[in-house]
């Protein structure tokens, strides 16, 4: 995060929101979000910077990221994670996308998360 926030004061609640979303991503997909939250990390670039968790991922930035990469194990893992993300409910996708926003002023708050459709659903039987 220092890459993005090196001159910004610490904001504990925004960091907590991010951390909870990273854990939730892992629980829902069975994968870690990224190795490092830096642009050099392919999963971070796709899932966070290009907002690739949501179903509306057909944008120029996403296309460039996927086409720019060689056929590697990392790219294959990313494609597997993308499939898992596409299978998440729209409510789960929205919660993750809102909570994993780089600009902390735009990141969902705890109140927003708690009142989100995903949180207010009845659990499966």
63-80 pLDDT, tens digit each: 556 656 677 787 778 878
- Predicted local distance difference test score (pLDDT) of residue 64: 58
pLDDT category of residue 47 using cuts at 50, 70 and 90: confident
For the chain, domain boundaries? 13-113
- Predicted local distance difference test score (pLDDT) of residue 106: 92
Calculate the average pLDDT of the chain: 82
pLDDT category of residue 33 using cuts at 50, 70 and 90: very high
Q: Between the CA of residue 30 and those of 24, 40, 94, 97, 119, what are the distances in Å?
A: 10, 22, 18, 17, 19
Asked if the model's pLDDT at residue 88 lies above 70, the reply is: yes
């Amino acid at each position: 995060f220092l890459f993005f926030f090196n001159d910004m004061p610490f904001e504990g609640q925004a960091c907590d929101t991010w951390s909870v979303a990273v854990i939730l991503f892992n629980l829902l997909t069975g994968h870690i979000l990224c190795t490092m939250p830096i642009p050099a990390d392919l999963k971070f670039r796709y899932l966070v910077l290009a907002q690739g968790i949501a179903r509306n991922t057909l944008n120029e930035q996403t296309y460039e990221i996927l086409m720019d990469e060689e056929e590697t194990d990392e790219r294959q893992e990313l494609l597997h994670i993308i499939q898992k993300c596409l299978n998440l409910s729209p409510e789960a996708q929205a919660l993750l996308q809102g909570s994993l926003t780089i600009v902390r002023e735009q990141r969902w708050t705890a109140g927003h998360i708690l009142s989100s459709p995903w949180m207010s659903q009845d659990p499966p039987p």
